Amino acid sequence: MAYKVGYPVASQGLLTDVDTVQRNPLGQVAFDEAGAEYIYLQGIGSTVVGSVVTYGLTATNAHLTALSVTGARGPVAIAMAITVASNYGWYLRRGAGTAIYNGAAVAAALLFSAGTGKCDDAVVAGDRIEGAFVGATVTGSGAGSVFVNYPFMNGNG
């Protein structure tokens, strides 16, 4: 079980909790015992554990997520729980974790957005997720290891 530790502002719940009411300030940051960093965000429909999302998409809500898609722009994070619309939860933004892959991927390869809420190592112009790498070889679609370091999409790749 992953617990949050070492952050001076107290937060409520586990990293895998889904909150139906907001229990922490949006944008709050927390760390786990391994030093991975998470951000508390509002969910979006169809989010599953490991969904790749962008956030900070509107002028009125800088902490609303959207499943990553071709041509997306903005900071990227990985869902820790099934955090659907109107729910709140934690998202990985620095450290090792699990993401949803669209297909096979080779360890240490660069990551690209590949389908709604998924990633892949297949090069797609403009869809690179900067600051994200395949953690270990993935043999097919589904959950796989990922390493992120404040990932974002800015049209490169």
Tell me which residue range forms the domain holding 131: 29-153
Q: What percent of the chain has pLDDT above 70?
A: 92
DSSP string, the chain: ---B-S-SS---S-TT--BSS--S-TT-EEEBTT--EEEEEE--TT--TT-EEEE--SSS-TTBEEE--TT--EEEEEESS---TT-EEEEEEEEEEEEEESS-B-TT-EEEE-STT-EESS--TT-EEEEEEESS-B-SSEEEEEEEEEEEE-S--
5 assigned to some structural domain: no
Per-residue pLDDT tens digits for 45-57: 999 999 999 998 6
Higher pLDDT, 123 or 59: 123
The pLDDT tens digits of the residues spanning 70-100 come to 899 999 999 999 999 999 999 999 999 999 9
The reported pTM is 0.91
Q: What is the mean pLDDT of residues 21-34?
A: 93
Q: What is the number of structural domains in the chain?
A: 1
Q: Specify if 84 maps to a domain.
A: yes
